[in-house]
Structure 1
């Protein structure tokens, strides 16, 4: 399994477990990269996957 897929599934799991609630911010790319010990690019790819399936919405700023 690729790292981005693992991260996407882990975040999705946390959403279903209500660790990240609807309308609530998830940690920043930088914080997630540090947590998973990967690059921000890898985190960004994982988040894109979640955006494509409609689970998260990315808002800049």
Structure 2
């Protein structure tokens, strides 16, 4: 399985989604989809869950 690309992720969206998911990284992607729809009207946030998890690993697991 290929590793995601954290550069595709909007940091502010990812952080807000993690807050809404109560810190649960597995649930955060669903929150990203919801937030993306609220903000842009599009369901796709422009990155997938692998990208989001790679972002969290880069930011929080150093």
Same fold, TM exceeding 0.5? no
Q: TM-score, normalised by structure 2?
A: 0.39
Q: TM-score, normalised by structure 1?
A: 0.39
